[in-house]
Each structure stands twice: as C-alpha cells, then as structure tokens.
Structure 1
Amino acid sequence: MAGRIKEEDIALVRERARIDDIVGSYVTLKNAGGGSLKGLCPFHDEKSPSFNVTPARGFFYCFGCQEGGDVIDFIQKIDQITFHEAVETLAAKVGVQLRYDESGGPMPKREANQRPRLVLAHKMAAEFYVEQLFGAAEAQPGRQFLKERGFDRDAAVLFGVGFAPRSGDAVLKHLRGRGFSNEELVASGLCAQNQRGPYDRFRGRLLWPIRDAGGDVIGFGARRLFDDDKIEAKYLNTPETAIYKKSKVLYGVDLARREIAKGRQAVVVEGYTDVMACHLAGVQTAVATCGTSFGEDHARVLRQLLLDNDQFRGEVIFTFDGDGAGQRAALKAFGGDQAFAAQTYVAVEPDGMDPCDLRLQKGDAAVRELIGRRVPLYRFVLGNVLSKYDLDRADGRVDALREAAQLVVSVRDRSKVDGFVRELAGHLGLEVEQVRSEVHRAASRPPQREPEHQQRAGVQAQTEAPPRRPDVPSPRDPRFMIEWDVLKMVMQYPHLVHGKFGELDDEDFTHPWLASVRAAMAKAGGPENAQPGEAWVVAVREAMGEDPAVAVISALAVEPLRLDRDPDERFAEAHLARLQELTCMRRITELKSKLQRTNPIERVDEYNRMFGELIALESHRAHLRERAISTS
C-alpha cells in the first residue's frame, strides 16, 4: 500500500476544500455577521445554533460542545474515520490527485495487501446471497424465518440479509467466474477446503453480512434453517481471516457509528435479529458481538466511537436475558467496567424477552422503553448478590454485607462509594456506619482466590497481595493507557525509540509517577545510551532514587505490550505521536476555553493571538495524527 500522503497534497486539499461548502452539505448554515456562518451543531443535540464556521480561516467551532477544527477534522468527526481516510475523501470531492511518499516508510499494510481483494469478494458474495434470498425457491424457509420475527423485505434489504444455496459450490462458482482464485476464496473464509478441494463454507443458511465501521463487508453470520444441516451449531460465523477478527468486530457498527458518536450512547445486544429489532424500533445505537462474548477489544472499539474520555462521558447499555446466563453475562460485563470512562447500564425485560421478541409481541415502543428503563450495571449486580441471601435472617444479612462490600470496593468511580454505602445499608436494614466499616475492611484485605464457578458479583479472583495504593497508576486505567504503553516500550525496547524520546517532556504524562519515570529515563542517559538486558532497567531504577514512583519500574519492565509480535520502529513512533497528540489536544481544550471567555471586541489583540495559536495547535495535532496513523 502507498506510504503517507505528501504534505503539499494535504495542504492543497485544505485549500481547495472550502469548509463552508463541505460543512454546508451536512449542516444548514446562515450568515451570522462578521464573516461567520452559524447552524445547529451536528455533534450534539441543540435547539439554538452554537455551531460556527469561519470560511476565511477555514475552521469550525461549537460553543455548545466545544468540538472544533479544520475541514479535515470535520470529515473525521462526522464520518468517524481516520485522518488519512478523511484526506482521501476530501481529495475525491475536490479533484486532487494525491501522491504518496515512500521515503518515510510504508503505510500499514492492512492485512498484507489482501484487504482489497477480500473485501471485493465479500461484497460480491453479499450481493449474490441477497439475490438468492428473494429469488430462489429453496430460500423460502429463510424468508419465513424473517417474517415470523417481524422483518419484511425492506428490513432484510436494509441489513443485507441473504441466503446461501444448499449446493455447496454456488458462491464458489459465482466468484470464480468473476476472477477470484481458489486461494483467495479460502483465505476470505467464504470457502473451506478438504481433500477434494474448496467448497462453500455457508450452505443452506440465512446470512447476515458483518461490516466494519466504513461499511465494507468483512464476514458473515449464518443461522441454521434445515434439520438435515450437517453442522449442528445454530450459528456459524466467518473464521478469523486477514480482514475479520471476531474480538474486534461489532455487528451493526456501520449503521450505528454516527448515532453512537452523536448521542454518546451505545446499546450492546446479543444477536443479529436483536440489532435489527432495535434499529427498526428507533434505537439506532445498537450493536452486537459476532459469535463471541463482549471483550476488551470490543470495549476499545466502542470507546473510539463514543469519543469516550473523562471530559465527555457517554453511556454503554447492555441488554441481557433475565435468566441465569444473562446474569452471568452481566457479572462478566461488570468485570470489564474499568475499560470505560462512560457509565455502564443494564436493560433487562422483566418477562425475559430479548429485543427481537419484545418488538414482535409488544411493538417498537416497548423496545425503546426497555432501553429507557436501564439501571446502573452496579445496581443490577448488587441486586443479584443480595438475592442469594435470606435477608430476614441476621446471619444472611451479615453474609450479604460481606460479599456486597467487595462489590462496593470494586466500583470504579470512587466519588459514588458513599452513596452506594448508604444504598446498601437501606437494602440490608443496617446502620450506615456498620456498612461503611465493612467496606473499609474489604478495601484493606485482599480478596481470596476462589474457583471460577464460585466467584461472586463479578469480582475477579486475585492473588493475595496488598491492595493497590490509590496514587499508583493502573495500566488498565483508560486515562493512562497510552502513557503506560509508551514507557513500557522505552523500558523494554529502548533501541526503537531513542530517536524520538527527546521530544517527550513531563507535560506528556498526566500522572506524576509516570512523569517521574520519564525524567529518570532521561537522567539515566536516555534510551540511546541504554545497555542491553537488565542493565537499562537497573540504571533507570537507580536514577529514581527514593522517589516512590520506583514502585512501577518492575511492572514497566515485565508487563508485555499487547501485541502478537515484537514491535518495530514504526509502531514505536506511532505510540509516541499518539501520546504527543493527546498533550496537544489538552492544550487545545485549554486554549478554546480561554477564547470562549475572551471578548473578541474589547480584547481584540489578545483574542487574535490566541486564535492564531489555536490554528497552529490544530495543525500540529493533525500532523501528529498523520504520524500516528501512517506509522502504526
């Protein structure tokens, strides 16, 4: 794949893509005087327009939600795409032929250059399957399945539902006739192979195309329709391929991403038909995992869509069945709650119906009401804990208190602990101070390791160790993940970062302990002078002296980076650029706040100076983003 886009071409795109024309295709803009245009913000709901566009400077800014930037930033935010993709999108609109610079190293290969062919194969297969659903007599059971669940032809077309013929070689022949090789079709996951050769993986099943956030079909979910299907599993999914990673894929994300970003809400349901039911009922932020449970990578995808951070918190709503499996799923979700800055909720239908059945039996409004009745995930888990005990007995209340206290201790938002203590006291009929004392005891003792099937309330078993001190940064805390990963990379792979380490300073690290580690690394001579093996770790530790932050040195040295291979220099540069971008974004936020408080008429010189600085910072941030994308 081509390298990074030449800087002069990016500048030409900015010049030719008039921000008022581009934004005006999404937002109705009206003259606001002084060369400014105004309209309703596309990034948050508002009744009075606070979204401003200044064509002369090429920037937009919303005084309601504080979103702002240049024309490339706007396309990134509105379409939820990368900087590189936004430039290419605008270039196509304004007729700029982009050139790519190979000297700075190639762009990410996107699955070893297989992606274009595999995506095209999936696109053609999806179209073929749709034709079969509506045109083949043998697809009648599939059409009946949809009808029985309240989905008409328009709904099936909207979600691209199709049918795989039972013959075993229909899609194989169809795609070979369009120039695809057997090797490509097996690599795509559309076909499997045995001793007799390739054959259709999906046969006689109803198919849902699984798309990425950009709308490309990258896999399928297939439901069993016929009793004589040799594969007994009700659902069969595309295997892991160069373009399909089930731990990172969310069904419906292509339809939901804009609404998720706009409403700062994501609804996680359990199946393909549940996603369809939610969207058709007006809950257009619904997504589902594909043949796997909700995990850390799925959380990361949602965080990116939610723009999830401490300043702009959204909400993630999980829907679970009311049975035991649903409760276990809720406990697991609670265990991963730390992945979000957003608030987490649970929506459970009292009758135990999933969104698809609920819509079918009670209508669209019932689905919307289900989401509206959401309760905090913590409160749902607490209810499960307390339901296991006889609270009419004194010993039952004591046992319930002990277990529930561990739950309160594990709550991420410490500001809410006191409120939860009072709530727990009310449930148990105990004095607040008695509950508070038990919570304090729970916080001061390590949880006992239990067999997995006996773990309660989603509190994960841990080895016996003193509790984490409140001032120690956690590598799982979303606020510090990138800072932590950069320091791990410097500690473990100093040869990859020595050329860029000098660009970092204490402002790049928001936790004082991590800033202290960076300073110690510099004091120890920097990664360019690092000796191999443990000598570098020892040198940094000695440079720390008596600083309490020395406590994290060992963790930085031994905790592996979340990779399936060793990192290279491009990966390292991407992480450093991303860290610097976050610093730049904090400076931009601070400057925007000052601008908003400054009267542009009474303090015109100061206002213009700050506005010029803001433009420079936005340009620098865009450059860092391009570095992060181009080298990752």
Structure 2
Amino acid sequence: MAGRIRGEDVALVRERTDIAEVIGEHVTLKPAGGGNLKGLCPFHDERTPSFNVTPSKGFFHCFGCGAGGDAISFLTELEHLSFAEAVERLASKAGVTLHYEDTDGRSSSRSQQPGRKQRLLAAHTEAAKFYSEQLASPEARIARDFLSERGFDRDAAESFGCGFAPPGWDALTKHLRGRGFTPDELTEGGLAKPARSGSLIDRFRGRLVWPIHDLTGGIIGFGARRLSEDDNGPKYLNTPETPLYKKSQVLYGIDAAKREIAKRRQVVVVEGYTDVMACHLAGVPTAVATCGTAFGSDHINVLRRLLMDSDEFKGEVIFTFDGDEAGQKAALKAFGDEQRFVAQTYIAVSPGGMDPCELRMAQGDEAVRELVAGREHLVDFAIATTLASYDLDSVEGRVAALRATAPLVARIKDKSLHPGYTQRLAGRLGEDVDLVRRWVHAARSKQAPPQAGPARRKVTGPRLLSERDVLKLAVQHPEMAGPYFDEVDETYFSDPMHVVVRRAIANAGGAAAAASGPNWGMAISDACGDLAAAALVAELAVEPLRIDGEPDTRYVATALAGVQWPVVEEQVAELKSKLQRMNPETDSEGYMKLFGELMALEQRLRGLKERAAGAL
C-alpha cells in the first residue's frame, strides 16, 4: 500500500498548476486589479463578490467566509477530496508523475496510484466508452431509432456521448471487472448492484444512456431512458447518490455550457437530456438540465458562480418548462426560488407547449432560438398563471386575485420595476392603479392589506333612503308607482331586508295590479314570510314620503332613477374593467361588441343621473 506522496512531487504539482484555471472551472473570475481575480465564493452564499484569487502567488482567499489556500486546498474543500486525491487530480493535468514514500521514509519508485475518487472517475470513463461502443451494436437499433426520431444523427450522438446499455444482466460488470475494477468500486460508483443471488448485475440494462459530467468534465454518473415496453422500471433512471454523484448539485450539460454561460451571462434551464441536446445543436449553447430531481438551491449556487451573479441585475436565467399543468407548477416553484438569483429570471414557453426537442423536430433550429429570444419575465408568467385561476368577471374573484398577486409584484428584486408591474397588474385586473399600489406596498412591508378593496360600492345613507322611498311609493301609492316600479326588480336593491320586501311585492301580484289600502299592505306582509320584513312593511305603510304634497309621475321617475343609477354605474365599471383586460388586437370582434355595450350602458347611466338629480 502506498504511503504519502513525496514532498518534492507535491511542490512540483503546485509549481505547475494554474490556480486560476483550476478555480475557473467552478467559478467565473473577473479582473479585480493588480493582477488579481474576483468571483462569487463557492463556499458560502453571497451577492457581492468577495472571493479573490492571486494567480502569481497561487493562492485564493474569501473575505466573506475566510476560506483560503492553494489549488490543492481548494479541491479538498470544494469536492471533498483527500489531500492525496487532490494532488493526484492536479498531477494528472500537470503531467507530473508522483512517487510515494513508505512510512519509514524510504522512497518508492512506484508512480502515481489513484485515490478512491480517481478510481471511480476512471470506472465511469471506461463505462461511458463501453456504452458508446454498444450503441453501434445490432441490439441497440431501438436506441438509435429513438435518437433518430428526435432529430439526432450519429454525429450528435457521438458529440453528447450517447450510448446503449445492453439488456444482459452483467455485460458492463464483466467488462469493467476485466479492466481491473473491483466489485466494491462498481457498487460504490452506482454502476452495478448486488443481485439476490449475491452476484453483481448492471444497474442500467436495455436503455439509452447519457454520461453526466461535472464542471471539470469528469464523468460522474449516467442518465438512462427506458426503450422497451417490457422494461418495468421508471421512464428515466439515474445514477444513485455516490461519492461522485450528488443529484441536488448535478446539472446535465454544465461542462459543455459553462464557458458560454459565463461569456453570455445567460443560462437556459430545460427539463431533459434531449432538450439540452436540441438547444445546443440549435445554437443555444447555454442550456442545462437537472437530472431526475427538481431545480433547487444547490443548482442555483452552481449557476450563480458561473454567471458571476452579483448585484447588477445583468444576468439572465431562462426556464423552459412544458406548458402543461406540471410545467406551470414547476415554473411557480422556480419563481419561489428566484429571489436567490440577482440575475433577471425569465420563462420561455412555446405556443404549442412543446419542449425544445419537440420544437426543433417540428419547426427547426431557428424556432428553438426564437423560443429563447421570446422569453418573458418569470414574474409576468407567475402573475398570469395565478390570475387564470380566478374569475376576474366577479368582484369577489378580483379581490381574491389581487390578494394573491400583489405579493408577487412586491417580491420583484429590482425595485425600479415595481411601478411598471403595479400598473400592469392593475390593467389585468381592471382596477385602479392607486389601489393596487397600496396592496403591493402592504405586501412589501408585511402590513395588513388596505381595507378598501375592489369590491362593490359601499351602500351609503342616501342610497338606502332612495330604496326606502320607492318601496313606500309601492306600498302607499301602488296606482302611482304602477308599472314604473314593477320594471325595477330586486337586483337594484342593496339592503337585504329591502330585497325581501321588493320580492314580496312581486309575489303579491305587483304594484301595477294593486289598489292602495289595508288589503294591499296585508298582502305584501303575508308574502314576506319573515317577521322582520313584515314589520318593515308596516313602517313603510305609515312613514311619510320626503316631499310636500302628493307624489306625481315625475317624482316616481326621479325616485326610481335614484335607485337604478348606482347599480348601472357598477355595471359600467365592470364593463370597463373587462375591456381593460381584453386585447383588442387578438379579439377585435369581442372587444368591439363589448365596447358597444359599454356605450349604450353609459348613455343609460347619464339619463338616470339626470333624472335622479331632480329627485330628493
């Protein structure tokens, strides 16, 4: 067994290692003056870069968390390698042959012997080569057809390292055992698993496989797609948690996309392996995907370091979830995490709800590029999706929708965007922008929302008096109120007790067919079916009208107008709100029809107000 690495070799590795190159595989570094570089620290969550690298001295230091050291300590901290494993990793890149010293200090002529993680990486590299070769075999026809049907030719398959896991029980296991890898290494790396018989069998069998790389390009696992109906396993099967593979941190395609992500300050998050392939082939080289798990905080940390995601709001994170219900839920979850980014967050959903792979097959490479270019702010999508679950044509629905969406606007990181999104939300709701602004402010400051909401106009004293007056007319002077009163149904009355009395008058035969006197009043009382309403009828029968002398038809008309115009005014407001939510370009016919209804209703409102002005 090898002892420690000879000190001279460690010194040579340090001398030949470019620390900026090593750290640059994990962190986007930018010039910071004096030959130093700066980036976001990979060891703690931060918004302002405090992680400094001095290439001339071969050291790094974070002024935020205090982490520091050379390239060897960087790898031991970030990738949880032992000292020897980190040196071996760097020695391999630097072309240094390592020698080991026995515990008694004697030097050994043995060259570099890889540590555990290096052995697992080597096993995965050999497995990827094996799978790739198997893709050309006759029994892999089903896998080649799968790729071809999705627009991927042989060159594309080779470029992304696609392979085929033979359907036999232990084809890969036998191959790797023949290359000197131990059963423990195969099981620890997730390449094989024990069978009930005690022997080892392949984890992936009869499946199309994709190698999954880490940021440095090392193969750390595989994703495998079911091809046969006889396969009772899940549609996608991924490498389990291993010393190399941590699913909460892994992003497929990150090794190929990292330089373009840093260069363009943009990352496109898609949902599957074929979507990554389609995007890269179509000219969107910043695409990555999670591997069998939801997009989470560890993925965000990886991307922030690559984006140099500081406090400038310059980067872009674009999600391309499917347009179905599951995709919408995923997008809303992503919006819940978007506060972790300083970068602006967007979503791109194709018109037909197709994913990038389907879109490329149906419409070509340009359509994929246009999908990404036509992105919309994630907050816009979150607001629209939330509003879609409410009935915006009802007062209650708009109140609930405002309650749900005001916090979304309040959470927008860039405060300069608040006024614009507040106004946009007001337009979608068809509500007053000052009211929406108060709700957004309340949500931002964690205060209780304003009491005044987009609800039906509060019934004031004069309106109640007007309702009471017209009911007195119907009870005391039915021959005068007559058909004018009967045309104004219970929907124009706001007080619940007034509604009961108005309904009772209709059930008693209506004012036009009645004659004044005790029998008419009693008929209304009997039709009430409510003691309190019956008592109100008795009051109405004896309470004087608010005029001098006997009522005439002009008084009846003005009193009834005073009851109707508040309701018609609300109807006008409802129509205006609905028009505000419509797009006249996409629904011109519906918009013009509604606009005509609004004009007629406003004309009626003006007439009612003119008559009501001469009433009481």
TM-score (ref. length: structure 2): 0.58
Q: What is the match of residue 404 of structure 1?
A: 405
Which residue identity does 2:203 align to in structure 1?
R
Q: What is the match of residue 565 of structure 1?
A: none
CA distance in 2, matches of 1:2, 1:258: 38
SS at 2:393 equivalent:
coil
- In the TM superposition, 1:143-542 aligns within 5 A as 143-196=144-197, 197-231=199-233, 233-311=234-312, 313-443=314-444, 445=446
Query: 1:12, CA displacement in angstroms?
Result: 9.8
SS at 1:209 equivalent:
strand
The one-character-per-residue Cα deviations of 1:520-552 (angstroms, maximum 9, x if unpaired) are: xxxxxxxxxxxxxxxxxxxxxxxxxxxxxxxxx
Contact 2:214 2:250 in 1 (8 A): yes
The one-character-per-residue Cα deviations of 1:310-336 (angstroms, maximum 9, x if unpaired) are: 147411110011111111011100111
CA distance in 2, matches of 1:43, 1:301: 14
Query: 1:83, CA displacement in angstroms?
Result: 3.7
Which residue identity does 2:378 align to in structure 1?
L
Query: 1:130, CA displacement in angstroms?
Result: 0.5
Q: What is the match of residue 480 of structure 1?
A: none
Q: What is the match of residue 110 of structure 2?
A: none
The one-character-per-residue Cα deviations of 1:22-74 (angstroms, maximum 9, x if unpaired) are: 99xxxxxxxxxxxxxxxxxx999xxxxxx999xxx97899xxxxx99646889
SS at 1:241 equivalent:
coil
Query: 1:175, CA displacement in angstroms?
Result: 0.6
Q: What is the match of residue 515 of structure 2?
A: none
Contact 1:6 1:98 in 2 (8 A): no
Q: What is the match of residue 513 of structure 1?
A: none
Q: 1:126 and 2:159 equivalent?
A: no
Which residue identity does 2:121 align to in structure 1?
V
SS at 2:168 equivalent:
coil
CA 345–116 in structure 1, closer or farther in 2 if over 3 Å, else same: same
CA distance in 2, matches of 1:312, 1:11: 42
Query: 1:409, CA displacement in angstroms?
Result: 2.4
CA 391–257 in structure 1, closer or farther in 2 if over 3 Å, else same: same
CA 381–12 in structure 1, closer or farther in 2 if over 3 Å, else same: closer
CA distance in 1, matches of 2:156, 2:448: 49
CA distance in 2, matches of 1:351, 1:379: 19
CA 115–420 in structure 1, closer or farther in 2 if over 3 Å, else same: same
Query: 1:268, CA displacement in angstroms?
Result: 0.4
Contact 1:13 1:96 in 2 (8 A): no
CA 94–123 in structure 1, closer or farther in 2 if over 3 Å, else same: closer
The one-character-per-residue Cα deviations of 1:543-563 (angstroms, maximum 9, x if unpaired) are: xxxxxxxxxxxxxxxxxxxxx
Gap regions ≥5 residues in structure 2: 22-27, 39-51, 62-69, 76-85, 102-113, 450-616
Identity within the alignment, %: 55
Match of 1:117 among 116, 119, 122: 119
Query: 1:423, CA displacement in angstroms?
Result: 1.6
CA distance in 1, matches of 2:288, 2:58: 26
CA distance in 1, matches of 2:293, 2:405: 29
CA distance in 2, matches of 1:235, 1:382: 32
CA distance in 2, matches of 1:382, 1:4: 59
CA 433–144 in structure 1, closer or farther in 2 if over 3 Å, else same: same
Contact 1:189 1:241 in 2 (8 A): yes
CA distance in 2, matches of 1:251, 1:269: 10
Mean CA deviation greater in 303-312 or 240-249: 303-312
The one-character-per-residue Cα deviations of 1:393-435 (angstroms, maximum 9, x if unpaired) are: 3333222212111222233333322222122112222222111
For the aligned residue pairs, the C-alpha RMSD in angstroms reads 4.1
CA 293–433 in structure 1, closer or farther in 2 if over 3 Å, else same: same
CA distance in 1, matches of 2:35, 2:10: 17
Query: 1:447, CA displacement in angstroms?
Result: 9.3
Query: 1:75, CA displacement in angstroms?
Result: 13
- In the TM superposition, 1:618-629 aligns within 5 A as none
Contact 1:13 1:94 in 2 (8 A): no
CA distance in 2, matches of 1:265, 1:187: 35
SS at 1:385 equivalent:
helix
Q: What is the match of residue 598 of structure 2?
A: none
SS at 1:189 equivalent:
coil
Contact 1:406 1:443 in 2 (8 A): yes
- In the TM superposition, 1:555-570 aligns within 5 A as none
Contact 1:269 1:319 in 2 (8 A): yes
SS at 1:317 equivalent:
strand
Gap regions ≥5 residues in structure 1: 24-41, 45-50, 62-66, 77-81, 102-111, 449-632
CA distance in 1, matches of 2:245, 2:18: 37
CA distance in 2, matches of 1:83, 1:429: 59
Contact 2:17 2:71 in 1 (8 A): no
Which residue identity does 2:287 align to in structure 1?
A
Which residue identity does 2:285 align to in structure 1?
Q
Which residue identity does 2:335 align to in structure 1?
F
Which residue identity does 1:305 align to in structure 2?
L
Q: What is the match of residue 493 of structure 2?
A: none
The one-character-per-residue Cα deviations of 1:350-387 (angstroms, maximum 9, x if unpaired) are: 10100001011101111010000011110110111122
Query: 1:220, CA displacement in angstroms?
Result: 0.6
Contact 2:12 2:96 in 1 (8 A): no
SS at 2:221 equivalent:
strand
TM-score (ref. length: structure 1): 0.56
CA 73–337 in structure 1, closer or farther in 2 if over 3 Å, else same: farther
SS at 2:409 equivalent:
helix
SS at 2:248 equivalent:
helix
Which residue identity does 1:282 align to in structure 2?
G
